[in-house]
Structure 1
Amino acid sequence: MFSSVAWLRRLASSLLVLSPLVACQGETLFTSSVTYCSEPDALLIQQFEFIYFQQNSSVWFNLSAASVQPDVNVSANIFLNVYGMHPVNYTIDLCSLFNGALCPLPTYNFTGSDTIPIPSSLDLSQMIPDIAFKIPDLEAYAQLSLTEVNTGTLKACVQATLSNGWSAHQVGVEWATGGLALFALLSAIWFSTTPDNLLPFRFVDLFYLYQWAASTALLDLNYSSVYIAFATNFAWALGLLSASATSPTQLAINNMRHLTGGTMADASGGSAVAFVNRKLSPYNAAAALFVSGTSQLLEINQDTVLLGSNSTLANYVSAASVQDVKQLDSAGTVQLVTSSSSNVLQAGIPIYVNDVGIATANAFMTIFLVGLMVLAIFLVVVAIGYGIAVFLARRNRIKATSSTEVRERYVGWARAWLLRLCLIAFTPVTIFAMYQWTLQDSWLSVLLSVIFLLAVAGYLSYCLFLVVRLAVRGTPAALYTDPKYLISGAPLFALYRPERYYATLPLLVATLLKAILTAFANANGEVQIIFILIIEIGVLATLLVLRPHKTRRADVLATYLAITRVVCTGLLVCFVEAIGLGAIPRVVVGIVAAVFISVAVIVMFINILLCSALPYLRRHRATSSADPSVLEKGAPGDEETGRPVNSMPEQTVALDSSVSQAYPDGSSQTSAEDRSIYTQESGSTTVGSLLPRRWSLRPSEPSHSRNSSTSHSHHSFSHLSNLISTNASSPIQSHTPSPSYSHMQLQGRQPTIDEHPSTSC
């Protein structure tokens, strides 16, 4: 029956190598949630847990239930749904169990826990494939239905989702991605004062990648469970920090909502999977609920079922009093979830936020409180840094700039980081603030969402207005020359070429449009995914046409990330409910999309490491090039080409135009006869002879005349010209070294840039 899914195991094991999953798990299946699938009539359940062990084909159970109606003869139907298929669908005659002790159903309070071997006649090891114990985020549930024998009335229905312990959501992944973001943040702060350093921009790009990965699971689509679990690894980047129903923050938000007109349900204390719409994963039960016609009647006698050492029901059953039944009924640990229930979680934001322990109505307020905490931390750090900067400026006033200039630069630096925080907050604030308006739950939550959205979007709009106004009034190059805008507004344009200073505007517009679709089109997944795919293709086309970045490598990275977004968004089309794609193909699509996103995160990690190490590599190169031993050896390739090695670094000496005009022809008009005939082959030195035209000498000047007038420079060059002409015509004087150069050698110092020869005249 499961031959069609045998290849899924190999695919999952090969693709999920890149995803950090849990350690080795035993081959077990256990209940992850329990809910009523119909109004409890004859059976009340307080606790229902079981674990199936594949190795010895046994079941451990922990059951607490009560039968409250007398004289009820029922049959039990056991139904198993795995990825939309139902390999187990048996009806058991309870009257044949325990010598008729369960017929009629006794009004007992069942409380017991034990391990039971499965009868060999069931042969569950053949019914359940091995993949059910290996694939992460298993999509399976078991259903127990009690039907009255005489009337066919449904007396009780209980559903329990199953899990194997494997999941694509891991706390270690959250810490790893958070650690990478923290490293990028510290590196960006350290290098944010360095011109043309990419780390501050890569920090924002990394957060945008995280937020996009999380936002792909917020649409009204029938995602596979493995993809939702993977996407929740990045929920913290949206400000949705994992919580529990008893978290003080969530309890405070619940109290605030209920005091201000909120009527929506709070977060559940159990698994959010229990409240998922039964049409969606992991239930996949659109056509599988209450399957009839294919049921098989299985007669089991007392000898077939073994209950440990004793086979009497009295070991697990105690007589129930009226008080016990009342306590069991008021416990409320097992919720009623049907297609008409108000607590059903629909696809999109409700399922996603509840998976991280946050109620649907609490999503925005959670982001709002996280944003306030981040803003408070930012203000404290900026205040401390400002005090330190002013203090150091006053201490070093003699050799540093004034405290006023330091203050202006620091304020610009702080404004740039505030702008980066607004860019990071723009995606979650726009999505969840507008989604809060559709809930109509708490007037205070709606008011705060409007204020928060206006604050973030308003500051971004103001900064964009300043940038565009300066570029329109003057030239785009003015943005890169005005220190005021270059420091404070750098996150908006400094990454791009001057003629493409506006390249960040399409990205912000695309983010806003996607947020509008996610928030307001939450009941139509087809519209959401189609228009978002068009937007992503438009962003990719914009990058290919504009090529806005200053370097080709930056364009390649941005294009790669855009292609990843387009490909993954295209894969999400398979999750549209109207397509009706099977559960197993959707699992494969989810795994492939998760791998694409994982590779993109790894690429960003490598890029951030390279950007962090690049300044140190450049500094090491500069130090190595200044090493005298390296200078003596010369540049690589000199020995191969046979060219003479210049012992001094080549520098370009910019001469004054007036000086150049005084000697229009220079040494280019010197005849061959004027050149010295003393060479190394004749045993003579070349000191005092005419140098080739590519060389130029400038004598060293005394320290007291470094700032002399231009006329003095004319006199120095005239004296140098006469000295060279005299040495060229007198072989005897050619053995006398230049006085200025000899003086430098005696003083034991190297010639300065203006003193040594340059090869690029």
Structure 2
Amino acid sequence: MFSSLARLRAIAFTISSLAVFSNALEGSLFTSSVTYCSPPETLLVQQFEVQYLASNQSLSFNISAESVQANVNVSASILVNAFGIDILNITLDLCGILGGALCPLPEYNFTGADSLSLPNQFSAKIPTIAFQVPDLEAYAQLTLIEVDTGDVKACVQATLSNGLSTLQPAVQWTMGSITIFTFLVALWQSLSPTSILPFRLLDLIFLFQSIATSALLDLNYPVTYRSFSLNFAWALSLFTSGDGGMQGAINNMRALTGGGLANSTSGSAVGFVNRKLSPYSTAVSSGGITSLSSLARRSAGQLLQQRIPIYVSSINISSANAFMTVFLCTLILIAIALFVFGAGWASIFAIGRQDQRLLLKQSYPSWVRAWTLRLSVIMFTPLVVFAFFQWTLKDSWLSILFSVISFLAIMSAIGYPCFIVIRSVRRAESSVLHTEPLLHSYGPLYARYLPARYHFFLPVIVVAFLKAIFISFIQTGGMAQVILILLLEIALVACLLVLRPHKTRGADVFSSFLGIIRIVCTGLMIAFIESLEVKAIPRYAIGLVLAVIYSVTILVVIVNLILHSGVQRLWKRRGTSQRSSYQDSSDTMLETGDMFPSDKSSSDGFGRPTNPTPERNVPLDPEVNQPYNPTSPTASIDYASTRQRDSESTNFGSILPRRWSFTPLHTPSDSSALDHSSPFESTLTRTSEEQVEPVSH
């Protein structure tokens, strides 16, 4: 009988697992993971599955277990909880089901399954929205209680899911692809040190890192927000991995160098839940457990801490492996960068023309230094956060050694350019920063700012460093973390609003917008502080709001990237003889980095000038642009010369020196008086060799 039930159960649950989203649409809840809720004494449970079908209001369950004591009669208590609300709480007499096969519990491995029709009063408590919202926070608990003594012989919990989640591989791949594409375009545009796209690339990655690090605090997060933030774990160099590959190598390294904490496994840690907090606030042992039988050999009271352990365990990386994962990914990034730099250097020598080769050889080292600095800025937050966290674990002396080396290396890679920039300004003036050697090498730090506000990169770096300290070293006390980070964000935005460091108004508005978003989202996380005991449903709603706010912000940044990627050049020219005002504003936006073009351009010489020089000669109207006397023959000569003269050298209302005048080949009354291109060219060639004296007014 048990084998037949097992086959039926296997078929049913295989079909349900292959149609996860259809389950959600049909109105079903099913188990996604299981764990013990108390240490097993009499019964070892290998499998426990529960499924609720809204169509027939039935609760199906399956259990596979093994009893280690004889003559144990138990009753089963089933509890179903969603968002902290007990939906179902019933007790079953096992002697009355399955023909009494479980009374007493058999002393061998057995499998049993059954389906119960729930009364209407229980089904009515399950809202329809439970089948539609992502990352449902619900679980079912089975407790076996000895009939004679009332002792708990076994307790198993199964988290429930409707098949929907804000953690989507498609989102991860899309965001990663956009970042790679932006990186490639920025790589090309960075040949100009003042190009805006490389700075927007940093803004995009910093936004992803802000979302990911916001889920590393000691807070009682709703599952929906933690799942959303896991879409951007790759921005912190945390990549999903199983027992083999990178995680397996790290496990072996730690085992050989004094590591004693749990290893990474392919099993998800989400199922091991501390029910005192969120119904999904994960769980037992920092590595996660793949089966109940292995869990039975552990202490069920050992819970994962909030903060980094839960976050990394949710993607199958143990907390002890977190830093080494970031460290190895950094080494891979360095290897890729060295390959690209080497390929670029080889391309320079492949160029045939000697003059071009010499020019590129002179500028290429500065370009390499600039991108080395950009990559260091990108890796600053992941390396510092997880190096600090590794120091708190005291596990594996080799991991600690690598963390110290990484910390010193990244601080040197950021600190030395900062020192060079500040020293250069102290020895000279801020304008020295825009000379060719410094601008091409260290421009990623300050090129987006006004010369007088070049030092604004320092507050940004200091804020990132302090955040890493608050995330890693404040291990208990989410309130302190939230308040301190909130104060940092407010201070940074206040500096932006007061100093207005960027070269254009649009750039200041864009940076202030990102800062205000961080302030709002950090403020909303106050609801996740455990001591405030905010109910599960309000916390869940706030988690969805945070996900929506960050999603809209990402779209805004992507639109900004598109505007500065140069695609507008495809429709920039409407004709060969005129420019529209819209095209001029597009030029300003592209060169200065505004998302919304400013009505004034930079006055420091690095943006587009207020009255730009035309890109081609424009014929001038003599009736408007110069005093004209029709009775004077000299006026005709001056009119002809002015007609041919470039607009840059036109000097209205003043008499040019004698050396700039020339004798026409024809008299003023000749019909060809206006057609003297050859004399103009010869005269221009002759006069250009002479020293031009200032024009006196």
Q: Do the structures match in fold with TM over 0.5?
A: yes
1:584-626 Cα distance to aligned partner (Å, 9 max, x none): 0000111111111111110111111110125725964695649
Counterparts in 2 of 1:371 and 1:622: CA distance versus 1, 3 Å: farther
TM-aligned CA deviation for residue 688 of structure 1:
4.0
TM-aligned CA deviation for residue 227 of structure 1:
0.3
Task: State the partner residue of 1:151.
Answer: 149
Task: State which of 662, 666, 669 in structure 2 corresponds to 1:719.
Answer: 662
Conserved? CA contact 2:58–2:118, under 8 Å: no
Task: State the partner residue of 2:349.
Answer: 390
Counterparts in 2 of 1:483 and 1:269: CA distance versus 1, 3 Å: same
**Structure-to-structure mapping, 1:617-696, within 5 angstroms:** 620=573, 625=578, 649-650=617-618, 673-674=631-632, 688=636, 691=639, 696=642
TM-aligned CA deviation for residue 41 of structure 1:
1.8
**Structure-to-structure mapping, 1:199-598, within 5 angstroms:** 199-244=197-242, 246-283=243-280, 332-335=293-296, 340-341=301-302, 344-392=303-351, 395-397=352-354, 400-401=355-356, 403=358, 405-480=359-434, 482-598=435-551
Q: Secondary structure at the match of 1:273?
A: coil
TM norm structure 1: 0.75
Conserved? CA contact 2:75–2:92, under 8 Å: yes
Q: Partner amino acid for 2:234?
A: W
Q: Secondary structure at the match of 1:220?
A: coil
Q: How far apart, in 2, do the equivalents of 1:621 and 1:474 lie? A: 46
Counterparts in 2 of 1:241 and 1:548: CA distance versus 1, 3 Å: same
* Structure 1 residue runs without a partner (length 5+): 1-20, 287-329, 628-645, 653-665, 677-686, 701-712, 728-732, 746-751, 753-760
Q: How far apart, in 2, do the equivalents of 1:699 and 1:525 lie? A: 72
Q: Partner amino acid for 1:485?
A: L
Identity %: 45
Q: Secondary structure at the match of 2:205?
A: helix
TM-aligned CA deviation for residue 248 of structure 1:
1.6
Q: How far apart, in 1, do the equivalents of 2:412 and 2:193 lie? A: 27
Q: Secondary structure at the match of 1:274?
A: coil
Q: Secondary structure at the match of 2:156?
A: strand
Q: Partner amino acid for 1:674?
A: S
**Structure-to-structure mapping, 1:113-192, within 5 angstroms:** 116-121=114-119, 124-192=122-190
Task: State the partner residue of 2:606.
Answer: none
Counterparts in 2 of 1:671 and 1:159: CA distance versus 1, 3 Å: closer
1:81-131 Cα distance to aligned partner (Å, 9 max, x none): 111111211122233335654333333422256xx5432546653232212
Counterparts in 2 of 1:55 and 1:337: CA distance versus 1, 3 Å: farther
Conserved? CA contact 2:48–2:156, under 8 Å: no
Q: Secondary structure at the match of 2:423?
A: helix
Counterparts in 2 of 1:448 and 1:353: CA distance versus 1, 3 Å: same
Task: State the partner residue of 2:51.
Answer: 51
Q: How far apart, in 1, do the equivalents of 2:196 and 2:282 lie? A: 50
TM-aligned CA deviation for residue 351 of structure 1:
0.5
The count of aligned residue pairs is 609
Counterparts in 2 of 1:169 and 1:673: CA distance versus 1, 3 Å: same
Q: How far apart, in 1, do the equivalents of 2:180 and 2:281 lie? A: 39
**Structure-to-structure mapping, 1:606-621, within 5 angstroms:** 606-613=559-566, 616=569, 620=573
Do structure 1's residue 77 and structure 2's residue 77 form an aligned pair? yes
Q: How far apart, in 1, do the equivalents of 2:577 and 2:188 lie? A: 24
TM norm structure 2: 0.81
Q: Partner amino acid for 2:673?
A: P
TM-aligned CA deviation for residue 337 of structure 1:
7.6
Conserved? CA contact 1:688–1:735, under 8 Å: no
Q: How far apart, in 2, do the equivalents of 1:517 and 1:101 lie? A: 56
Q: How far apart, in 2, do the equivalents of 1:460 and 1:734 lie? A: 72
Task: State the partner residue of 1:318.
Answer: none
TM-aligned CA deviation for residue 194 of structure 1:
2.7
- The structure showing larger relative contact order (alpha-carbon pairs under 8 Å, at least 6 residues apart) is 1
TM-aligned CA deviation for residue 523 of structure 1:
1.6
Task: State the partner residue of 2:10.
Answer: none
Q: How far apart, in 2, do the equivalents of 1:85 and 1:259 lie? A: 47
Q: How far apart, in 1, do the equivalents of 2:477 and 2:645 lie? A: 81
Task: State the partner residue of 1:311.
Answer: none
TM-aligned CA deviation for residue 51 of structure 1:
2.6
Q: How far apart, in 2, do the equivalents of 1:672 and 1:101 lie? A: 121
Q: Secondary structure at the match of 2:31?
A: strand
Task: State the partner residue of 2:196.
Answer: 198
1:186-220 Cα distance to aligned partner (Å, 9 max, x none): 11011111353211111111111100110000000
Q: Secondary structure at the match of 2:547?
A: helix
Q: Partner amino acid for 1:453?
A: F
Conserved? CA contact 1:22–1:167, under 8 Å: no
Q: How far apart, in 2, do the equivalents of 1:626 and 1:120 lie? A: 74
1:309-362 Cα distance to aligned partner (Å, 9 max, x none): xxxxxxxxxxxxxxxxxxxxx972445787732xx1111100000011100000
Q: How far apart, in 1, do the equivalents of 2:88 and 2:626 lie? A: 100
Counterparts in 2 of 1:582 and 1:431: CA distance versus 1, 3 Å: same
Q: Partner amino acid for 1:132?
A: A
Q: How far apart, in 2, do the equivalents of 1:88 and 1:533 lie? A: 40
Conserved? CA contact 1:698–1:717, under 8 Å: no
